[in-house]
Amino acid sequence: MKSNHFTIVIPTRERADTLFYSLKTCVDQDYENLTILVSDNNSMDNTREVVSSFKDSRIKYVNTGERVQMSQNWEFALNHVDNGFVTYIGDDDGFLINCIDEINRLFCDLHVSSIAWGKIEYCWPDHIVDHHKNVLRMSLSTRGYFYDGRKKLKKLRSFSIGYNDLPCLYNSFIDVNLIKKIKQNSKNAFFRSITPDIYTGIILSSVMGEYIYSKKPFSINGASRHSTGTSQMLPHVNLEPSQKFSSEITTSKLDEKLVVCPSTLIYVADSFLKAQQTIPSQKNDFAFNMNLLLYKLMQEAVGGPYERYKIVKKAVYKMCEINNLNSFAKKIDKIFINKPLTEDIRYGLDLTHNLMTLNASIFGVTNVYDASRLCSHILQNNKLDLDEKVSTVLKRNFRKIFCLKSNR
C-alpha cells in the first residue's frame, strides 16, 4: 500500500500550555510519512521550548517573525506545505491515536481528493462555562458517505446544514494540488476570510466534486479558556479571546453588509461574500438570501441566553438598515421573542443520534491528550469498528456498500 504524505498544521499563538497536549496526540501517530508543522504567530511565551521538547523528526517549527492576523498565519504555514494531503487543527485540539494510518488506507482505496469527518467535541477543564467543563461528546457511528461538494454548498446557502458538513481544512485532509490550483486563480492566496476554517469549506466545495464524509471521528475539537470561537459565541461570558482575535485583524475584515454578532452564520455569510470575490465566474454558487440569513440568525437566538439574544437582535436591526430591509425589521419584535431553553447536559448514550456524552473527569481526563486516548479506546472496542468493517467491505466494493451513495 502506498504511504501518502500527510501534513498536520498547528497554527499557534501564546498557548504553550495546551499546545503541548495537542502535539502529544500528533507524535503518538505510528505513521512515518507525516509532517507536524507548528506555525508560531510570534509567541512571547515558551512555545518554542515546548515544541523543542519533543524529540521527533516529523515536527517542523516555523515562526511568522511578527504578529499577524489568524488568516495570515494560516497562509504563512500553507506556504511551507509542498505535497500530499494537509489539514489544520487548533492548538487545543487533537487527533485520535494512530488514526493517520487508517486515513491513508482510505485515500489509497477510494482515490478522492478529500476525506472529511465529524469531530469529537471536548471542553477542557478550564472552559469558560462551568457546566461544560470536561464534557466530552462523540459519535459512535462508523458510517461513511460520498458527498457532492456543490450540492452540499447549495444546502449551506439555504442555511439548512452546518458548515462542518463541508470539507473544511479544520475537519478534513485535502489534496495539496487542489489548494494550489485555487491559489493560482486567487492572486496566490488561499485564505480570504477572517474565519479561514469556514471559508476553506466553502471555496473547496465549489471545485472539489466528490468527497468522503466519515461519521467516525478522527480528531477532537477542543474548547479551552483560550478558544476564540467559544468567546465569539459567548461574549457575555468571556470576551477576552475574541477581542484579542479582533484586534489583530488588519487586512481581511468582515464584509460591510454584515455586522459582528455571536453566531457562526455571520461568518458563513462573510465567507460566501469573500468567495464571490475570489471566483467571480462562480458567483451564483456563493449567493445567499440576506432576508433568510437574518431570519435564521433570529431563529437561532430566541432559544439562547437573553444577553446573546440582545446582541444578535441589535446586529440584525443594523443589517436591516444597511441592506434596506426595513420590512423585515418591523417583524422582529413580533415574531422573535426570547425564550431561553434550559441547557441540561445528559450523560450517557443517545441511541437516536448514536452519540455518547461523558463527564471526562470520571475517567481521569484533564487535557485533550487524555481525551484522545479515552476516545481511541472507546472506538477501538466499538462493535461497529471501522477497521473490521472496512476490511470486509473492501472485498465487495467499498464504494457501493460501506459508503452510502448520497447527496443528502
Q: What is the DSSP string of 347-406?
A: -EEETTTTEEEEEGGGGT--SHHHHHHHHHHHHHT-TT-HHHHHHHHGGG-HHHHTEEE-
Domain count, the chain: 2
More confident residue, 380 or 46: 46
Half-sphere exposure of 86 (CA within 13 A, CB side): 22
305 plus 263 within the same structural domain:
yes
In a domain, 375, yes or no: yes
Taking only the tens place, the pLDDT of each residue in 215-233 is: 999 999 999 987 666 655 5
Q: Which of 302, 335, 368 is the last residue of a domain?
A: 335
List the single range of 219-228, 258-267, 330-339, 379-388 with lowest mean pLDDT. 379-388
Does one domain contain both 240 and 192? Answer: no
Do 395 and 268 share a structural domain? no
Tens-digit pLDDT profile for residues 176-215: 999 998 988 777 789 988 899 999 999 999 998 899 999 9
Which alpha helices (H) appear in 145-256, and where do they start and end? 149-157, 176-184, 196-208, 228-233, 240-247
Average pLDDT of the residues of the chain: 87
Note the pLDDT tens digit of each residue in 361-403. 999 999 999 999 999 998 875 432 333 333 333 333 333 333 4
Q: Do 246 and 361 fall within a single domain?
A: no
Do 198 and 170 lie in one domain? The reply is: yes
CA 176 from centre of chain: 18
H or E segment to which residue 117 belongs: strand 114-117
pLDDT digits (tens, 9 = 90+) for 144-163: 888 999 999 999 999 999 99
pLDDT score for 398 = 35
Say if residue 83 is in the same domain as residue 216.
Answer: yes
Q: Phi first, then psi: what are they for 136, rounded to 5°?
A: -130, 130
Quickly state the pLDDT bin for 244 (edges 50, 70, 90): low
pLDDT at residue 383, rounded to an integer? 37
**Which amino acid is located at 398 in the chain?**
F
Whether the predicted pLDDT of 247 surpasses 80: no
Q: Would you say residue 35 lies in a domain?
A: yes
Residue 29 domain flag: yes
Whether 342 is covered by a domain: the verdict is: no
- Same domain? 205 vs 233: no
List the grid coordinates of 216. Answer: 467516525
Whether 343 is in a domain gets the answer no
pLDDT tens for 340-369 read 887 778 888 888 888 999 999 999 999 999
Say yes or no: 101 and 202 in one domain.
yes
Q: What confidence category does residue 240 fall into, taking pLDDT thresholds of 50, 70 and 90?
A: low
Tell me, yes or no, whether 104 lies in a domain.
Answer: yes
155-182 as b/e: b if 16+ CB within 10 A: ebbebeeebbbbbbbbbbbbbbebbeeb
- Residue 88: beta bridge partners? 9
Averaged pLDDT for residues 120-141:
91
Q: Is residue 130 part of a domain?
A: no
Residue 296: the pLDDT is 97
Q: Are 98 and 177 found together in one domain? A: yes
178, 190, 201: which is closest to 116 by C-alpha? 201
Residues 251 and 327 occupy one common structural domain:
yes
**pLDDT tens-digit series, residues 289-307:** 999 999 999 999 999 889 9
| Residue that terminates a domain, selected from 335, 370, 395 | 335
**Boundary (domain end) residue, out of 305, 335, 365:** 335
Lowest mean pLDDT of 164-173, 238-247, 315-324, name the range: 238-247
CA distance 39 to 37: 6
> 261: domain range?
228-335
Lowest mean pLDDT among 52-56, 84-88, 198-202, 392-396: 392-396
Same domain, 322 and 376: no
CATH value at residue 396: 3.90.550.10
Look at residue 344 and tell me if it is in a domain.
Answer: no
> Is pLDDT of 407 > 50?
no
**Average pLDDT estimate for 36-43:** 97
Q: Do 12 and 109 belong together in one domain?
A: yes
